[in-house]
Structure 1
Amino acid sequence: MNSGRFPYSKWVGTFLLLLVTCSASAEKVKVLNLENSLQIAKENNLTIQSAEQNLKSAEAQIRTARAAMLPRLAASGNYTYFKDVQKSVIYAQGGFGFPIPGEETNGMSTPSPDNEADLIELEFGAHHNVQGTVNLTQPVFAWGRYYYGYQAAKLRYEAEKKELAAAYEKLRLDVHEAFYRVLIAQEFVKVAEQSVALVQKQLGIAQTSFDAGATTNFDVLRAKVQLANSESQLIRAKNGVKTAQNAYKTLLNLSLSEQISVEGSFEIPEIQIQLDELIKLAFETRPEISQSQLNEQAGQKQLSVAKTRNLPDLAFFSNYQISHNERLTQMNRIWSLGLQINIPIFDGFASRAGVQQSESILKQLQLGTKQIRSATEFEVRNAYLALLEAKTLINVQRETVAQAQESVRIATLQFENGMITSVGLTDTQLALMQAKVNRLQALHDYVVGLAKLEKAIGQRIQ
């Protein structure tokens, strides 16, 4: 009896476990809309993180360039031990060969090197030596070299800020494209499901007519083939949702195993701005243009720095030194200050080459600014024309879906009464499905086109 109860209890426990697991899985589904998707992308996107690190690096370069204009204070110290110190021998009388004061030179007796009493051994230095030095240097005049470098660093920092802004704009467009790609994929699934339902209804009508002997088996076979095709399209649509979701999760830097759901709608705001005004706005607010202009200004400062490399510079210095050893009764202290001038005489033409290189870099930056302006105008024009095209398609297809639905309703009634064949009904069903797909695609193209236009001009369109 117990053996009979055990399998029953085991199956009940397994069922409850699966139920709890399924409930936990359902709770883990993350619902995303466009707003929180943008926030998640800003926090997790690797491109944004890289741009933020570039900005921090540029900020550190400002501090480095500023440090070149400030005084530099350095201290050093050392301890030296000499096992053996230097020794020297001198004559006891008239040391170093000089006569003793008060004696006549002629009366001096010549010391004999063989007589040790006439020699004295002296030690120079000490065994234990301690020395410390404090050095201060301050650039006084360098033809603006350090100031130009500081200005160039500040300009590069501002350029990096514009690059970060451009990265945000690009990310915003990418999020819009990926978000609405998932949204339209989900809508395609609904359209495919509606198509399957229509074909199933058609198959039921055809089967009923065939069973009653009113029609041949042709309509049934054709409906079955059409049902298989619709189900295939539904499978592809569902797989398209998974593919779009994986791309979306990759963009947001989310785990591919994480379950997400996208909620949103295709909102169609009206735009009243003309093309010329949009191009003017793009030239004023597009971060890539501002970044290129700032880099160009920084290049001019770097050229000014390069031109000072072969010019003299003046610096102030001051030194304070202390030393002590076991032979001294008082520590030595030495303080000095002065001015130092450095005059480049010949550097192997390195300064001239540096100027030429800076001039070439500046020319490249100037050409780059022109290219970016031209590319920006091209991007704005294309985005504007694509937006107008999508808006026109939306207006054209505004009544198409309703008309196609009415056509399917009439064709279904006619098919039920034997007035048309399954071919005619299938044509109207395909036309309805195509009308829904075209309208969804037009709505998708409009909202994505609007995001592209806003990215092209570098600001939101009110």
Structure 2
Amino acid sequence: MDFGTALQHMAASSDRLAASRQAVDSAAWQRRAVESLGGLSVSLTGAAYAYNVNLDVDLNPLSQALPGIASQLPPQLGGMVAQLPHLPASYTLNRHKTDVTASVNAVYPLYMGGIDNAARGLADARTREAQADNARVSDELASLLVQRYFGAQLADRAAVLRETALQSIEKHDAAAQKMLDAGVIAKVERLQARSALEDARKNARKARDDADLATTALTRTARAEERVQPTSPLFVNSQPVQPLDYFIDAALAHHPGLEKVAAKKAQASQLHAADEALRRPQVYAFGQRQIKSGNADWVAGIAVRWTLWDSIDRKALAASSQAQVEQAERTGAQARSDIALLVEKNWLALEQARRQYFAQQAGVDLSAEVLRLREAGLREGTSTTLDLIDAQLNNAKVQTERAQAAHDYVLALAALLESSGLSDEFANYMAQADVKVD
């Protein structure tokens, strides 16, 4: 699997990246939910009810007043009133009913003091923060894959070099035994060759175990179902990358950390605006109409609400939110300084790794020449088997160290691009590299 395929596979399968994407989607849906905040609101109300009402009426005052009333009437009527039965002391009136009612209500804010705009701005800022977190997670996972992918490549190369050296040493060990049997070499030299062989076996076994572990880590990072064997080689670009200022400018423009700080500042600003909006009056129109046939009840009007006194100190809240805005500004300034320093550190590390790789060419050439001379010397009898084994082990060591330098270059490049917010450009740098460590 080449690096590009591994990166695509990881991006499609990573649970961590999927979780950060869901956070972005959640924030986006919240922003959509408050898009129409401050607009018309219509509601429907319905109720079914039953009631029973009792009213006690005191009739004593009326009973006491009847004789006086009768005396003022004509004799015929007065006599009739006098013959009426006495009224009870009280009378209870009862009313009961079961009914249903329904109404439609509408509220339309005309002026909310800016609280609606502050809520939308806050949702926008939270969406930006989620997007910045998602970009940071994506960059971190890309750098992690670089470490695991090319770490597995380096470990496999070291194992192959150790195994190749072991194969040669096994041949020399067999030859040493024949030379001992022929009396050409001393027994101590034979024992030294055997000891070197055992050390080579131990080192080759450890190198292969390390390579297997690195491959397992790569497979899990890439979320592959089958064991991943990296095919993209380590690489180095013989020419320096762009100047330091290029990467600093890119970091200040694209780094997810700075975008997150900017989003935090925007949130603090919108919270401050919301605190200020709550201190202003609110004006809204309202209406209600009963849903029924015939002459329905309705009401409509305009209302103003202005809080003159509150148990919460609004001035203190405004001062608190303003302090958060200033805190975000200070945090942003510090973050810009820290990121610029990090970019410079990574840029210098990359250039140092590049120079180190090419500086090791002389050592590689020297170890190869020493190995050639030891092989020729063994044939001519001027070198011992142990000398040749040492030359072979040293040659494997030098080649491994140079591959390690290429590995350091690749990791430094990934770190530089991540700190500059340019992790997506790694594949382009890899394609442009003119030195491949096959």
TM-score w.r.t. length of structure 2: 0.85
Amino acid aligned to 1:308: A
Q: How does 1:258-277 map to 2 (within 5 A)?
A: 258-269=226-237, 270-277=239-246
Aligned to 2:341: 378
Q: Deviations over 1:202-237 (max 9, x none)?
A: 212321211110111122211111111111111111
Find out whether 1:124 has 2:87 as its counterpart: no
Alpha carbons of structure 1 residues 113 and 58: separation in structure 2 relative to 1, 3 Å: farther
Q: Which of 253, 258, 267 is the equivalent residue of 1:298?
A: 267
Deviation at 1:440, TM superposition (A): 0.6
Q: Which of 317, 320, 327 is the equivalent residue of 1:357?
A: 320
Alpha carbons of structure 1 residues 111 and 381: separation in structure 2 relative to 1, 3 Å: farther
Q: Give the secondary structure class of the aligned counterpart of 1:132.
A: strand
Find out whether 1:454 has 2:424 as its counterpart: no
Q: State the identity as a percent.
A: 20
Q: How does 1:91-130 map to 2 (within 5 A)?
A: 106-107=72-73, 114-115=86-87, 122-126=93-97, 128-130=98-100
Q: 1:111, 1:273 → 2: CA distance?
A: 122
Q: 1:344, 1:55 → 2: CA distance?
A: 37
Q: How does 1:90-239 map to 2 (within 5 A)?
A: 106-107=72-73, 114-115=86-87, 122-126=93-97, 128-239=98-209
- Number of residues paired by the alignment? 414
Q: Which moved more, 1:35-44 or 1:287-296?
A: 287-296
Find out whether 1:409 has 2:378 as its counterpart: no
Q: Give the secondary structure class of the aligned counterpart of 1:261.
A: coil
Find out whether 1:289 has 2:289 as its counterpart: no
Q: Which of 328, 332, 347 is the equivalent residue of 1:369?
A: 332
Q: 1:63, 1:172 → 2: CA distance?
A: 31
Find out whether 1:42 has 2:6 as its counterpart: no
Find out whether 1:86 has 2:57 as its counterpart: no
Deviation at 1:88, TM superposition (A): 5.5
Gaps of 5+ in 2: 430-438
Q: Deviations over 1:272-318 (max 9, x none)?
A: 41112221222122232233223312321221111222332122211
Aligned to 1:5: none
Q: How does 1:412-431 map to 2 (within 5 A)?
A: 412-431=375-394
Q: Give the secondary structure class of the aligned counterpart of 1:336.
A: strand
Q: Which of 395, 414, 422 is the equivalent residue of 2:358?
A: 395
Q: 1:425, 1:296 → 2: CA distance?
A: 67
Aligned to 1:60: 29
TM-score w.r.t. length of structure 1: 0.81
Alpha carbons of structure 1 residues 286 and 119: separation in structure 2 relative to 1, 3 Å: closer
Q: 2:82, 2:387 → 1: CA distance?
A: 143
Deviation at 1:360, TM superposition (A): 3.2
- Asked if the contact 2:284–2:304 (Cα under 8 Å) also holds between the matched residues in 1, the reply is yes
Amino acid aligned to 2:172: Q
Q: Deviations over 1:348-373 (max 9, x none)?
A: 23433432332233233222212321
Q: 1:431, 1:320 → 2: CA distance?
A: 95
Find out whether 1:279 has 2:242 as its counterpart: no
- Asked if the contact 1:222–1:422 (Cα under 8 Å) also holds between the matched residues in 2, the reply is no
Alpha carbons of structure 1 residues 111 and 332: separation in structure 2 relative to 1, 3 Å: farther
Deviation at 1:40, TM superposition (A): 1.3
Q: 2:391, 2:72 → 1: CA distance?
A: 143
- Asked if the contact 2:236–2:409 (Cα under 8 Å) also holds between the matched residues in 1, the reply is yes
Deviation at 1:39, TM superposition (A): 0.9
Q: Deviations over 1:146-190 (max 9, x none)?
A: 112212212322332233222222221111111101111111111
Alpha carbons of structure 1 residues 166 and 113: separation in structure 2 relative to 1, 3 Å: farther
Q: Deviations over 1:409-456 (max 9, x none)?
A: 221232344323344333322321221111110111112221221112
Q: 1:110, 1:88 → 2: CA distance?
A: 26
Find out whether 1:440 has 2:403 as its counterpart: yes
Deviation at 1:87, TM superposition (A): 5.2
Q: Which moved more, 1:365-374 or 1:171-180?
A: 365-374
Amino acid aligned to 1:338: G
Q: Could you say what the CA RMSD is over the residues aligned between the two structures, in angstroms?
A: 3.1
Q: Give the secondary structure class of the aligned counterpart of 1:130.
A: strand
Q: Give the secondary structure class of the aligned counterpart of 1:262.
A: coil
- Asked if the contact 1:322–1:332 (Cα under 8 Å) also holds between the matched residues in 2, the reply is no
Q: Which of 279, 286, 294 is the equivalent residue of 1:317?
A: 286
- Asked if the contact 1:313–1:342 (Cα under 8 Å) also holds between the matched residues in 2, the reply is yes
Gaps of 5+ in 1: 1-31, 98-102, 324-329
